[in-house]
Amino acid sequence: MTRYIYSNAASREIPDLLQSVFTAELIRPSRRLFLASPWVSDITVIRNRSNEFMILEPQWARRDITFTDVIANLIERGTEFYLETRKLEYNENFVKAIKQKTSKPFETFRYNAVLHRKGLLGDNFFLSGSMNFTFNGITTLDEFIQYTSDPSAVSENRIVWSRGWGRGEE
């Protein structure tokens, strides 16, 4: 399945898609999760104000669940998380927040001064497009993204992204 989304401030499509993606990741975590985003921030990715997602993590009762909450939880469960972003204080705060929320080492990140590509790649999906993983990127700016769960597209991208990190694809 491939879905194309053009989104603007009036649309909830991107936040809803991210909530679905991260809920699925918490239910069945990817072995490796790759994120490339020149700008990244600790955005809300799951709205849990009514406790509808409390089963995922009881400590997240009646609150918004942030990007770093989810990533740290996945790292704790054994997901290898790879982050590529630009070296900006804004992004460094994201890295620090992950490190503060997990007891496991998080060293699979790198800064790339010329990074422009954007995407999130898991074992069973690939999300790419014009969107940075920031509040403005998911809620305010006009963005175009593509989400696919097509096994061949996901596999192709996993090979490319894994090689980019000097990792073979298992």
Question: Mean pLDDT across the stretch 139-168?
Answer: 93
How far is 74 from 50, CA to CA, in rounded Å? 23
User: What is the pLDDT of the chain when averaged over all its residues?
Assistant: 93
- Whole-angstrom distance, CA of residue 63 vs CA of residue 49: 5
More confident residue, 141 or 93: 93
Tell me the whole-structure pTM to 2 decimals: 0.93
Q: Is the pLDDT of residue 62 over 80?
A: yes
For residue 114, give the DSSP letter: T
Domain limits at 72?
A: 2-164
**Model confidence at 3, in pLDDT bands (50, 70, 90)?**
confident
Please report, for the domain that includes residue 25, its CATH number. 3.30.870.10
Q: How many structural domains are present in the chain?
A: 1
Q: Which residues are bridge partners to 84 per DSSP?
A: 36, 110
Residue 72: closest CA among 33, 98, 43, 39: 98
Residue 7 is predicted with a pLDDT of: 75
In DSSP terms, which residues pair with 34 in a beta bridge?
A: 82, 121
Answer whether residue 51 is part of any domain: yes
- pLDDT tens digit sequence for 29-55: 999 999 999 999 999 999 998 999 988
Whether residue 128 lies inside any domain: the answer is yes
Identify the pLDDT of residue 82. 98
86-126 residue pLDDT tens: 999 999 999 999 999 999 999 999 999 999 999 999 999 99
Quote the percentage of the chain above a pLDDT of 70: 96
What pLDDT score was predicted for residue 170? 55
Give the pLDDT of residue 76: 97
Query: Over 90: is that where the pLDDT of 69 sits?
Result: yes
